[in-house]
Structure 1
């Protein structure tokens, strides 16, 4: 374990909140196999999390007292656990991002860009959806549910893909990403359950959630790719070697973390889908034991 951890579960959720304290002071600049391309790819993802995780928390919290769920004691406990875990993800990724800043990588600017992009997109989507009876709360929860499916899917791929794990040569960063991956799968159904309880399971809800995923993935790909290119360019590392590393790590058919997500991502479009249909129980038990959780 490369962090101090205090595990609590006062809310009584089916998963605990682990209060982590990672020390990023000794993390090298190119912490992922010495590769600028791989490191900046992951840093670009990390830059999305502080504003993104806060958006998830705010979206679920905004409907917490909705009549459909306010008296659902079990779901309320899950929501508390979800908020606690996401708050810790925000905290630790913000700390890592600050540590990357010391090498001259302007991650703070990318965090601010993420916040602006989220706020602009959610407000524009609500404006366009208003004539169809789609509220701001629904837009926010659609986005959260879609992006939670993405994060749970990329997390489970990380936990399965030994090639990618081997590239994480700094133990502090490897532990941070594996901890985050475990927790994304522990709470992967919470936002979805809130969405279904509040907005139902009908055709309108299906079209909204699947359309939301398709749109969110386009926006996410464009923003994260822009972040990667910007980090590489500012670091004078925008070259064939870096791009080749990113392709192999992210998109190659045999080893890529993104290409490996295809089947689970598409499962979201199945009528009647639920996140727990994608069984990660054994996978999580393995990693919780290995990480000392």
Structure 2
């Protein structure tokens, strides 16, 4: 793997924090099968991560000392490892985003836009929820819980969809995304466990978490789609060929990464759902061995 891997802090958690150092200097401009459409689709996704991952960290930190969980030693160790992994994801995606920026693709502007969208949407939902006792902390944590389900689910697709793996022609980028996918599934239950520990499992909590998933997915779809269109337009690649590649990769019934997520995404609406109901232990074991993790 084109990265130096160092486990810096296990913190007694069920998963480690790995300090990665991918070298993006040799990553080609259209690293995903030579396709502008596919590359910009993934770049648009990557543009969401630095601000998004920091939002996840801040949301969990904001309630970490809540009386309901502050003395839960097991969960506190998981939170420490969760924060560590998310910080590493931020670092590596910032590295890739900077490499895309060198080709003239304005990912920096998209990163800043992501931050503005997050701050704007979280405040709007807090104002809407205030009359029924929904606090800013509840909005932030439940949004994190919903988005963590999304990232764990799309990560699983990266690990099981051979068509997608074959399209990742550049080894550095393939390994970066697979490493990220592994870790998203390693810590997929942490934010959820924090949410349940703080806000319980009643109807209000259920309505909040499922409503947040709907809101988060609608927002994410429009923002990421706008980012893709903007990147393609600025690159003068907004054409039928690029859009066809994106459709096949993202939305086609047999191969699409987004359509492949449907069943697992819908499981979130099941009362009593828990992220660990989706067993990925064997999948992670296989890919950790492949990457030497």
TM-score, structure 1 normalization: 0.99
Residue segments in structure 2 that go unaligned for 5+ positions in a row: none
Partner of residue 184, structure 1: 184
The 5 Å alignment of 1:86-97 reads 86-97=86-97
The 5 Å alignment of 1:263-274 reads 263-274=263-274
Partner of residue 171, structure 1: 171
Q: Distance in 1 between matches of 2:22 and 2:162?
A: 23
- 2:237 matched to 1:240? no
Partner of residue 16, structure 1: 16
- 2:29 matched to 1:29? yes
Instruction: Note the C-alpha offset of 1:10.
Output: 3.8
Q: Report SS of the residue matched to 1:82.
A: helix
**Alignment length (residue pairs):** 293
Q: Distance in 1 between matches of 2:289 and 2:75?
A: 26
Partner of residue 4, structure 1: 4
- 2:143 matched to 1:147? no
Q: Distance in 1 between matches of 2:187 and 2:78?
A: 8
Q: Distance in 2 between matches of 1:77 and 1:8?
A: 14
Cα RMSD over matched residues? 0.5
Q: CA offsets per residue over residues 241-274 of structure 1, 9 Å max, x none?
A: 0000000000000000000000000000000000
Q: CA offsets per residue over residues 190-246 of structure 1, 9 Å max, x none?
A: 000000000000000000000000110000000000000000000000000000000
Q: Report SS of the residue matched to 1:21.
A: coil
Instruction: Note the C-alpha offset of 1:128.
Output: 1.0
Partner of residue 131, structure 2: 131
Q: Distance in 2 between matches of 1:289 and 1:23?
A: 21
Q: Distance in 2 between matches of 1:52 and 1:273?
A: 24
Partner of residue 72, structure 2: 72
Residue segments in structure 1 that go unaligned for 5+ positions in a row: none
Instruction: Note the C-alpha offset of 1:7.
Output: 1.1
Partner of residue 278, structure 1: 278
